[in-house]
Amino acid sequence: MNAREMMNDSRPLLLDGAMGTLLMNRLPGYTGCIELLNLERPDLVLEIHRAYAESGALIITTNTFGGGGLKLSEYGLAERVRDINGTAVRLAKESVAGKDALVAGCIGPSGRLLEPAGTVSAAEMSASFTEQAAVLAESGVDMFVIETMGDLLEAQTALRAVRSVSSLPLVCNLTFENNGKTVSGTDMFTGLATLSQSGADVVGANCSMGPEGLLKLFRENMDRLETLGVPLSVWANAGLPEIIDGRAGYSLSPERFAALSVEFALMGMKIIGGCCGTTPAHIGALAKLLENVPSKNRAYRKRYSFITSRFTAVDAGSRDELIVIGERLNPTARKKFAEELKIGANGFLREESKKQEAEGARVLDINVGVPGIDETAAMASSVKLLGTLVKTPLMVDSDNPGVLEAALAVYPGTAIVNSINGKEKSLRDVLPLLHRFGAFVVALCLDDSGIHREASRRISIGEAVLKRLEDEGIDPDRVFVDPLMLAESAEPGAAMETLKVIEHFASRGVKTSLGISNISFGLPMRKHINNAFLRLARRKGLSAAIVNPAALETGDAPGEEESLALDFLSGADPGASKYIARFQGAAAKTAEPSPPGKQDPSKNPLSSIYSLVVDGNDEAIGETVRQALKDHRPDTVMNEGLIRGLERVGELYNTGEYFLPQMIASANAMKAGFQVLKPLLARAAERSLGRIVICTVQGDVHDIGKNIVALMMENHGFEVIDLGKDVPAEKVLTAVREHRPDILCLSSLLTTTMHQMKVLSGLLRSESPAVKLLVGGAVVTADYAESIGAAYAEDAVRGVEEAKKLVKKG
């Protein structure tokens, strides 16, 4: 039975359990690359695979979790991707020879942060995942598993890399924190909806927490997840990491793990397995319980209905609420935006995006078409910023396929492409992007014959475009038909014809969208005409409107001005004579909001600095700090502006309103402001809060969390000496002797390297007892920290708080 047949089978599929922890147990003291053991100790890898296969696992995952080039480069092994991954597949296939089981090519996170939070580009990350996926596919895997992804865009990048080399069944899992969101702020439903629409066959979660926590999270989301129309997957840890007999480990017994995990099968989940701390005994116990789970015959039909960002999902299939698409991120008639795009500034983009979000826009249209600029680079830069700045999903607006591709490659979510039409060139250029990125698309009622006034002609063209898209494999649920809005002043009667087109497609269950503002071209007080037409269009079934959200009137009944506009649109006021007479002398068009620029530092500059830090605006903050220094001491600017802003960011992070991308953006804004103050503070001999030495312990090459802690500590006024990652104990002690810090900060992501913290704690007490110890990392707990005589940092924000307490204690 092949992978697709097994996916369609009525029984749940059992996936294997942990590999790394078992290898470490067999090789005490080993601190090298787990994936390198495919070459150096293939006997051990094969033994573990066979144990899982004998325990009843139907899916054996290759020992390639960290087998991508970016991850292997941490060990100097980037040139051995082919050897390591190819051998891993051979070992997994050998372990299931003669069994009705599958081999899944395993792909884990790169260990790097994507731009703008980090320094790795989407293209670099894609190349790493593509190289690994190609080797796995060539080596003969039956399917792919992308797992433990904490960032939505990284998961999408890996998914697209696999899809570029293989059409095999693909499972894609995210990992979630205790707050039910990924470390970068994506909730379960938004993340899994995005991955499903991006091309995954099965979506789910792994690692994260024990089965109890994941059961709770899935139960909270199951009603909505079932609307996605795809199978679900889960493999939990064997509980949470604990200290057992002086060592870090997982305490959930095989029987208890199985009793909890079988509940996933009873909920109807398709693929169930084990993650950190699980063993063949855990999988064997689960296999026995799964034998008694009733088979469920279910036909899946993937549903494309959610326009998503990193932070939210908008249901495009709902008929109850208009999708308001903000139109103001467009340089046409917005000189300030055009000028900023020319020089690479982003003040307008920042302020207008947040304004439109606050005004009720549920999607933001972004267009950067300015003559003479690098539109591709400008669009990519804008989308990267918006992807962390606002929660609102994006509509990417360009007629250049290269620009669209650049935007979609760096966008965390499912965007709308604006647009495609019936011209062969448009179809040829845009269709590959729709397949690759899983985006929604606006289909214009336009072809080589041009734009037509008559509804019948536009309907005919729209139907032809829809059919072509469907023939090319684009689900109709992903399409918004746009009838195109003609100016009523130039084409009397065009409004009523447009309404006929909307009504036709709405009656067929096809989504429609429309740029409203063109209806009022050339007339005074345009917002009244726009609102009047929008009211009519909604009655005919319009799904989405590209409008200025600040000018929307949402009352149940039209006011006097809108009633006059309705008379004009219906033909009762030919030539708009009554309407024009009523608004004679008024502005020829609705006033555009004053274009935002840099913060005005003359108006409470310390508050402006505070706001710029909270908003993560590293562009305007330098000049604002310089202006503030005209009236305030450097330490006042630091404490009342920069530090106060960063403290507010910490509060927002603690309450779950901010996540990792926003925190990093704010920290970078703080850093930019601090660079202006730094020489002045040095001249004034301002004392730092204290000195910190920080590193990731020996054997652990993960340093994302440590880097964020270091950045936050420095921004809060600590002097930070960063020793890097995988640092031997002797090097740490040498640094402590040399720098005489107030605090030593240690990070560990792995249970197998946590013992280094205990070793260093003992050495520190005997050699430098005055130095405080602060520890943290994904597997570190408050109990473990207490057991080794250290303070505990749950995350970067709380780490700063704890460090301040430690230096106060002296």
Are 729 and 760 a contacting pair, CB within 8 Å?
yes
pLDDT at 596: 36
Mark out the alpha helices in 510-633 (DSSP H runs). 526-540, 560-570, 577-582, 605-615, 621-628
Q: Which residue type occupies 142?
A: D
- 């899983």: which residue's tokens? 438
3-state secondary structure of 231: coil
3-state secondary structure of 208: coil
Rama region for 327: left / alpha / beta (φ>0; ψ in -120 to 50; rest): alpha
CA–CA gap between residue 356 and residue 343 (Å, rounded): 23
pLDDT at 593: 38
CA–CA gap between residue 113 and residue 124 (Å, rounded): 11
Q: Of 608, 532, 542, whose CA–CA distance to 572 is shortest?
A: 532
Are 192 and 172 a contacting pair, CB within 8 Å?
no
pLDDT at 797: 86
Kindly give, in sequence order, each residue whose CB lies less than 8 Å from that of residue 784, ignoring residues fewer than 6 positions away. Answer: 241, 243, 248, 754, 757, 775, 792
Low-confidence ranges of the chain (pLDDT < 50): 587-602, 685
Question: What torsion do the CA atoms of 459, 463, 466, 472 make, to the nearest 10 degrees?
Answer: -150
pLDDT at 590: 38
Are 551 and 517 a contacting pair, CB within 8 Å?
no
Kindly give, in sequence order, each residue whose CB lies less than 8 Å from that of residue 63, ignoring residues fewer than 6 positions away. Answer: 19, 34, 35, 37, 38, 45, 49, 88, 91, 92, 106
Are 208 and 214 a contacting pair, CB within 8 Å?
yes
| Torsion sign, CA atoms 801, 805, 806, 810 | positive
Count of beta carbons in the 10 Å neighbourhood of residue 390:
22
Q: Which domains does the chain have, with CATH numbers?
A: 3-290 (3.20.20.330), 306-551 (3.20.20.20), 598-686 (1.10.1240.10), 687-810 (3.40.50.280)
CA–CA gap between residue 277 and residue 130 (Å, rounded): 29
pLDDT at 421: 96
Rama region for 437: left / alpha / beta (φ>0; ψ in -120 to 50; rest): alpha
| 0.95 exceeded by pTM | no
Are 694 and 739 a contacting pair, CB within 8 Å?
no
* Lookup: tokens for 697: 């312990």
pLDDT at 247: 67
Are 441 and 417 a contacting pair, CB within 8 Å?
yes
CB < 8 Å & 24+ apart, contacts of 625-633: 625/673, 625/676, 625/677, 626/676, 627/601, 627/602, 628/601, 629/676, 629/677, 629/680, 631/605, 632/605, 632/606
pLDDT at 329: 98
CA–CA gap between residue 598 and residue 25 (Å, rounded): 57
* Lookup: tokens for 288: 């026995």
Structural element, H or E, at residue 514: strand 511-515
| Torsion sign, CA atoms 531, 535, 537, 538 | positive
